[in-house]
């Protein structure tokens, strides 16, 4: 009887471990988003995390009950774990860029508020804004 209880406990613990891994650590999807970086901030009470928003503009076509075409924008909110990437993004507000991200099923407080975590900057369009240098202390 004791052996059966221990086996049951081990099976339940293994199942819970698998669910926790799937929810918080398994990369559900990954891809690239392109748009204009709206903001990049560091915020939080206990865990200071880097949060940003990318504005993706596009055209809306007539479909269903809505008539006409027009410009519409989508907001892509994301978190950044790597401080070096976050610092680079903080200097690039307003620029067009492509960011690689990973999507998780759940959020962790030390990873950020979003299920989408940017892990790489693919490109930054410098044509509208020339690259500026900021000296320390300014």
Q: Report in angstroms the alpha-carbon separations of 108 from 32, 112, 114, 135, 136.
A: 22, 6, 9, 34, 32
Phi and psi for 20 in degrees, rounded to 5?
A: -65, -45
* Tens-digit pLDDT profile for residues 87-123: 999 998 889 999 999 999 999 999 999 999 999 999 9
Fold of the CATH domain 28-124:
OB fold (Dihydrolipoamide Acetyltransferase, E2P) (2.40.50)
Q: Please choose, from the candidates 117, 119, 113, the residue with its C-alpha nearest in 3D space to the C-alpha of residue 104.
A: 117
Interatomic CA distance for residues 86 and 77, integer angstroms: 14
Interatomic CA distance for residues 73 and 94, integer angstroms: 15
pTM: 0.77
Sequence spans of domains, the chain: 28-124
* Tens-digit pLDDT profile for residues 6-53: 999 999 999 999 999 999 999 999 999 999 999 999 999 999 999 999
Q: What is the pLDDT of residue 61?
A: 59
Interatomic CA distance for residues 4 and 6, integer angstroms: 5
Give the bridge partners for 29, in sequence order: 103
Average pLDDT over residues 114-135: 79
């Amino acid at each position: 009887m004791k052996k059966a209880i221990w086996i049951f406990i081990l099976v339940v613990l293994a199942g819970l471990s698998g669910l926790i891994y799937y929810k918080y650590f398994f990369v559900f999807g990954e891809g690239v988003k392109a748009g204009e970086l709206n903001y990049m901030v560091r915020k939080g009470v206990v865990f200071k995390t880097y949060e940003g928003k990318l504005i993706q503009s596009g055209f809306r076509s007539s479909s269903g009950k809505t008539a006409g075409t027009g410009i519409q924008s989508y907001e892509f909110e994301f978190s950044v774990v790597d401080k070096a990437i976050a610092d680079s993004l903080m200097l690039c507000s307003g620029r067009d860029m492509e960011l690689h991200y990973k999507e998780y099923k759940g959020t962790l407080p030390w990873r950020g508020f979003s299920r989408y975590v940017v892990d790489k900057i693919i490109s930054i369009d410098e044509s509208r804004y020339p690259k500026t240098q900021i000296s320390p202390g300014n």
